[in-house]
Structure 1
């Protein structure tokens, strides 16, 4: 059920972005936009979210989603819509999709994916290695050392 909800959210975001960009700039039909949205959502969810996000993290998955969205939108708009300036439109759509994907990946990591603690950044280990800061008092240390020497003599 978690994956169905995540797929629905991803589809809605991609469909809204593509409708905004392709509908306004290219006068594309709703059917073509929905078909492109379904195809981009399916491929991006499997590759970007389930494989790359789980293994490499948010930044790598967002960059991969940008490239994947660009090529998918570019090829599909060229095939279905025959747009004259589909490269610039695809770049703009991919940028907007990648921006939304960065936020969606946070949702995926927190609610859907079971992220392995050993694969990611372990904050507990870093906290054990952190440095403690204290105020030094050289006079008290000197007195303590001298008192130990006089006690031992």
Structure 2
């Protein structure tokens, strides 16, 4: 149930964000925005939020979400429009907006949806111990005796 709630939050927030950027800013149709929202939402939820986020940090998952949003938006927009002049700028602004939203959404995911183990969450908490023997130098008499 938590995954459905998280996916609904992500879908609604992404739809509003992408509509403001692409619909109002670049005059794309609502149908194209809705299709891009569902495509981006499902792929980034599975790859970024469920697979990558529990194993890495928020920053790494946000950077990968930026790259995924940039590439997916660029590919989607370049295939639906004949005018390719503003596709890069539209993709870049959409990816920046998605990455900003995802940085906050990852905090929500860690706190409420994912059950991240303590060992994977705090990597810098390793405790290394040194081992020392009683002898600091080899006993030469004992070595000579063993060689004879």
Q: TM-score, normalised by structure 1?
A: 0.77
Note the alpha carbon deviations across 1:99-142, whole angstroms, 9 max, x for none. Answer: 0100000000000001011112179x68x9xxxxxxxxxxxxxx
Residue 92 (structure 2) aligns with: 91
Residue 13 (structure 1) aligns with: 13
Report the alpha carbon displacement of residue 82 of structure 1 after superposing the two structures with TM.
3.9
Look at both structures and tell me which one has the larger radius of gyration over its CA atoms.
1
Report the alpha carbon displacement of residue 83 of structure 1 after superposing the two structures with TM.
4.4
1:110 and 2:92 matched: no
Change (3 A) 1:82 1:44: farther
Secondary structure of 1:114 counterpart: coil
Report the alpha carbon displacement of residue 80 of structure 1 after superposing the two structures with TM.
2.2
Secondary structure of 1:55 counterpart: coil
Change (3 A) 1:92 1:23: same
The gaps in structure 1 that reach 5 residues or longer are: 129-153
State how far apart, in whole Å, the 1-side matches of 2:40 and 2:82 are. Answer: 18
State how far apart, in whole Å, the 2-side matches of 1:76 and 1:122 are. Answer: 37
Secondary structure of 2:120 counterpart: coil
Note the alpha carbon deviations across 1:7-47, whole angstroms, 9 max, x for none. Answer: 01111121111111111232111111000000000100001
Residue 31 (structure 1) aligns with: 31
State how far apart, in whole Å, the 1-side matches of 2:33 and 2:122 are. Answer: 39
User: Higher helix fraction: Structure 1 or Structure 2?
Assistant: 1
Secondary structure of 1:54 counterpart: coil
Alignment of 1:39-58 (within 5 A): 39-58=39-58
Runs of at least 4 residues of structure 1 off by over 2 A?
80-84
State how far apart, in whole Å, the 2-side matches of 1:82 and 1:118 are. Answer: 50
State how far apart, in whole Å, the 2-side matches of 1:68 and 1:87 are. Answer: 14
Give the superposed CA RMSD.
Answer: 1.9
State how far apart, in whole Å, the 2-side matches of 1:59 and 1:87 are. Answer: 23
